[in-house]
């Protein structure tokens, strides 16, 4: 029994630096915010479609000023003819597209804020670059039935790869905000894939995300 206890405590002592290093290298957090979206090809213009975004972020320290991160998000994209709906306009519509999204990003940090000790130091700003995989799972359409509703129900691609560009401002070690631009690299709907095609124009999505971030 004594040998087992000795072995147990020896393993604890040996693993403690590894655990401590992992805590210093990895951080996790929560994300919540809003989106503003548009779709090229739907005969509307402007980031008129509001939505929600929420999820989790895991950050790994790569270097003194660089991090890598992976997120798991619920994100609403889509399009809307006007930001303020005009009930007298028969062409008004609002299309909400729901996605599960996994952004993978590289972060470059700047503007070091020094705390009372080294463990309280943090960087005020960070710039992001990455790619995001999103899986489309449902849609909601509001307005008079038209080709846009038809496409959103049966013709959209389930998988989307997007370019991600962003900037972060942190007010403390834990709390910050992120402004992110997300653009699909391929068409979310391509009329060449269908014969007959319900709409002649291909669709490419653009989104802005404004997110609050809390890192533990």
CATH number of the domain that residue 128 is part of: 2.40.160.20
Residue 169, domain member (yes or no)? yes
Residue 164, domain member (yes or no)? yes
- CA torsion angle for 189, 140, 207, 90 (degrees, to 10)? 90
What's residue 6's pLDDT?
A: 55
Domain count along the chain? 1
Structure confidence by residue, pLDDT tens digits, 22-34:
456 899 999 999 9
Structure confidence by residue, pLDDT tens digits, 96-118:
999 999 999 999 999 999 988 87
E-strand spans in 43-92?
Answer: 49-61, 66-80
Residue 129, domain member (yes or no)? yes
Residue 9, domain member (yes or no)? no
What's residue 11's pLDDT?
A: 44
The predicted model scores a pTM of 0.86
Residue 17, domain member (yes or no)? no
What's residue 91's pLDDT?
A: 74
- For 175, the domain range is 26-215
Structure confidence by residue, pLDDT tens digits, 64-95:
999 999 999 999 999 998 876 666 566 789 99
Residue 21, domain member (yes or no)? no
Residue 142, domain member (yes or no)? yes
Residue 148, domain member (yes or no)? yes
How many Å apart are CA 159 and CA 26, to the nearest integer?
29
How many Å apart are CA 51 and CA 96, to the nearest integer?
8
Structure confidence by residue, pLDDT tens digits, 158-186:
999 999 999 999 999 999 999 999 999 99
Give the list of residues 6+ apart from residue 44 with CB closer than 8 angstroms, or none. 38, 79, 80, 81, 93
What's residue 92's pLDDT?
A: 87
């Amino acid at each position: 029994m004594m040998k087992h206890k000795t072995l147990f405590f020896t393993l604890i002592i040996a693993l403690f630096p590894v655990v401590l290093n992992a805590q210093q290298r990895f951080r996790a957090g929560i994300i919540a915010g809003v989106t503003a979206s548009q779709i090229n090809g739907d005969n509307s213009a402007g980031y008129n479609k509001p939505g929600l975004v929420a999820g989790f972020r895991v950050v790994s320290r790569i270097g003194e000023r660089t991090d890598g991160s992976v997120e798991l998000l619920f994100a609403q994209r889509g399009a809307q003819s006007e930001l303020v709906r005009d009930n007298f306009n028969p062409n008004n519509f609002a299309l909400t597209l729901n996605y599960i999204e996994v952004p993978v990003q590289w972060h470059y940090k700047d503007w070091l804020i020094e705390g009372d000790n080294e463990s309280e130091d943090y960087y005020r700003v960070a710039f992001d670059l990455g790619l995001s995989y999103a899986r489309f799972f449902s849609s909601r359409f509001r307005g008079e039935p038209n080709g846009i509703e038809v496409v959103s129900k049966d013709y959209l691609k389930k998988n989307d790869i997007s370019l991600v560009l962003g900037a972060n401002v942190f007010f403390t070690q834990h709390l910050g905000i992120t402004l992110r631009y997300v653009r699909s690299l391929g068409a979310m709907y391509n009329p060449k894939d269908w014969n007959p095609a319900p709409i002649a124009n291909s669709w490419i999505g653009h989104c802005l995300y404004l997110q609050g971030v809390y890192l533990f």
